[in-house]
Structure 1
Amino acid sequence: MKKILTLLLVLAMTVGLVTGCSSSATKETSENTAPDSIATKENTASESESVAADNTGAESADISGIKVGIIYVGDENEGYTSAHMAGIDEMIKNLGLSEDQVIEKTNIAEDESCYDAAVDLADQGCNIIFANSFGHEDFMLQAAKEYPEVQFCHATGYKAASSGLPNVHNYFTAVYESRYVSGVVAGLKLNEMIEKGTITADKAKMGYVGAYPYAEVVSGYTSFYLGAKSVCPTVTMEVQYTNSWADMAGENEVAKQLIANGAVLISQHADTTGAPTAAEEAKVPVVGYNVDMTSVAPDSALTSATINWGPYYTYAVKNVIDGTPIDTDWCQGFKDGAVGISTLNEKTVAAGTADKVAEVEAALKDGSLKVFDTSTFTVKGSKVEDLIKSDADFSKYSAYVSDGYFHESELISAPAFDIRIDGITELTQ
Structure 2
Amino acid sequence: MQKRLAFKLVFAGAALAALTACGQKEEPKAPAAATPAAAPASAAKAEGPMKVAFMYVSPANEEGWSTQHDIARRAVEAKFGDKIKVTTVENIPENADAERVLRDLAQQGNKLIFATSFGYMNSVLKVAKEFPEVKFEHATGYKTAPNVANYSARFYEARYLAGKLAGATTKTNILGYVAALPIPEVLQGINAYTLGAQSVNPNVEVRVVWTSAWYDPGKESDATKSLIGQKADVITHHTNSSAVAAACEEAKVPVISYNTSMKRAAPTMLLGGVIHIWDDFYAGRIQAVMDGTWKPQSVWGGAPEHMVALVDIAKGTPEAVVKDIDATYERMAKREFHPFTGPVVDQDGKEVIPAGKTASDSDLLTMGYLVKGVAGKLPSGS
TM range (shorter): 0.7 to 0.9
| In structure 1, distance between residues paired with 2:82 and 2:202 | 49
Report whether the alignment pairs 1:67 with 2:51. Answer: yes
Contact 1:239–1:424 (8 Å) recurs in 2: yes
Tell me the residue number matched to 2:11.
10
Tell me the residue number matched to 2:307.
338
Tell me the residue number matched to 1:215.
184
Q: Encode CA deviations 1:169-199: one digit per residue, 9 max, x unaligned.
A: 1111111111111111111113xx3xxxxx4
Tell me the residue number matched to 2:199.
230
The partner residue of 1:43 within 23, 26, 29 is 26
Q: Encode CA deviations 1:176-235: one digit per residue, 9 max, x unaligned.
A: 111111111111113xx3xxxxx4xxxx11110111222211111111111111111111
Tell me the residue number matched to 1:359.
327
The partner residue of 2:343 within 375, 378, 398 is 375
Q: Encode CA deviations 1:277-331: one digit per residue, 9 max, x unaligned.
A: 3323333222111222343333422101001111221111110011103352012
**Structure 1 length as normaliser, TM-score?**
0.74
Shift of 1:354: 2.1
Greater mean deviation of Cα atoms: 256-265 or 233-242: 256-265
Residues 85, 425 of structure 1: CA spacing in aligned structure 2 closer, same or farther, 3 A cutoff? same
Shift of 1:338: 1.0
Tell me the residue number matched to 1:168.
148
Q: Encode CA deviations 1:19-50: one digit per residue, 9 max, x unaligned.
A: xxxxxxxxxxxxxxxxxxxxx9632179xxxx
| In structure 2, distance between residues paired with 1:315 and 1:262 | 45
Contact 2:54–2:89 (8 Å) recurs in 1: yes
| In structure 1, distance between residues paired with 2:26 and 2:15 | 20
Shift of 1:240: 0.7
Shift of 1:11: 5.1
| In structure 1, distance between residues paired with 2:49 and 2:15 | 40
User: What secondary structure is seen at the aligned counterpart in 1 of 2:50?
Assistant: coil
Contact 2:178–2:237 (8 Å) recurs in 1: yes
Instruction: Give the fraction of aligned pairs with identical amino acids, expressed as a percent.
Output: 30
Ranges in structure 1 where 5+ consecutive residues have no aligned partner: 1-7, 16-39, 47-61, 194-198, 387-401
Tell me the residue number matched to 1:291.
260
| In structure 2, distance between residues paired with 1:385 and 1:184 | 20
Residues 132, 9 of structure 1: CA spacing in aligned structure 2 closer, same or farther, 3 A cutoff? closer
Tell me the residue number matched to 2:33.
none
Tell me the residue number matched to 1:308.
277
Code of the aligned partner of 2:149: H
Contact 2:274–2:310 (8 Å) recurs in 1: yes
User: What secondary structure is seen at the aligned counterpart in 1 of 2:244?
Assistant: helix
Contact 1:45–1:325 (8 Å) recurs in 2: no
Residues 294, 377 of structure 1: CA spacing in aligned structure 2 closer, same or farther, 3 A cutoff? farther
Residues 248, 350 of structure 1: CA spacing in aligned structure 2 closer, same or farther, 3 A cutoff? farther
Paired residues for 1:2-401 under 5 Å: 10=11, 12=13, 42-44=25-27, 64-78=48-62, 79-97=64-82, 101-160=85-144, 165-190=145-170, 193=171, 199=172, 204-347=173-316, 349-385=317-353
Tell me the residue number matched to 1:56.
none
Report whether the alignment pairs 1:422 with 2:375. Answer: no
Shift of 1:9: 7.9
Structure 1: which 4+ aligned runs deviate by more than 6 Å? none
| In structure 1, distance between residues paired with 2:366 and 2:283 | 26
Contact 2:206–2:375 (8 Å) recurs in 1: yes
Contact 1:240–1:426 (8 Å) recurs in 2: no
Contact 2:24–2:301 (8 Å) recurs in 1: no
Residues 91, 189 of structure 1: CA spacing in aligned structure 2 closer, same or farther, 3 A cutoff? same
RMSD value, Cα:
2.8
Shift of 1:10: 3.4
Shift of 1:149: 1.2
Shift of 1:12: 3.6
Ranges in structure 2 where 5+ consecutive residues have no aligned partner: 1-8, 17-22, 30-45
| In structure 2, distance between residues paired with 1:232 and 1:107 | 41
| In structure 2, distance between residues paired with 1:237 and 1:385 | 20
Contact 2:344–2:371 (8 Å) recurs in 1: no
| In structure 2, distance between residues paired with 1:109 and 1:248 | 16
Contact 1:72–1:105 (8 Å) recurs in 2: yes
Residues 333, 41 of structure 1: CA spacing in aligned structure 2 closer, same or farther, 3 A cutoff? closer
| In structure 2, distance between residues paired with 1:419 and 1:329 | 26
Shift of 1:276: 2.3
Tell me the residue number matched to 1:35.
none
| In structure 2, distance between residues paired with 1:288 and 1:385 | 28
| In structure 1, distance between residues paired with 2:70 and 2:178 | 25
Contact 2:341–2:356 (8 Å) recurs in 1: no
**Structure 2 length as normaliser, TM-score?**
0.83
Code of the aligned partner of 1:94: K
Higher relative CO (Cα under 8 Å, sequence separation at least 6) belongs to: 1
| In structure 1, distance between residues paired with 2:75 and 2:356 | 37
Shift of 1:65: 4.2
| In structure 1, distance between residues paired with 2:276 and 2:96 | 28
| In structure 2, distance between residues paired with 1:227 and 1:118 | 40
Shift of 1:108: 1.3
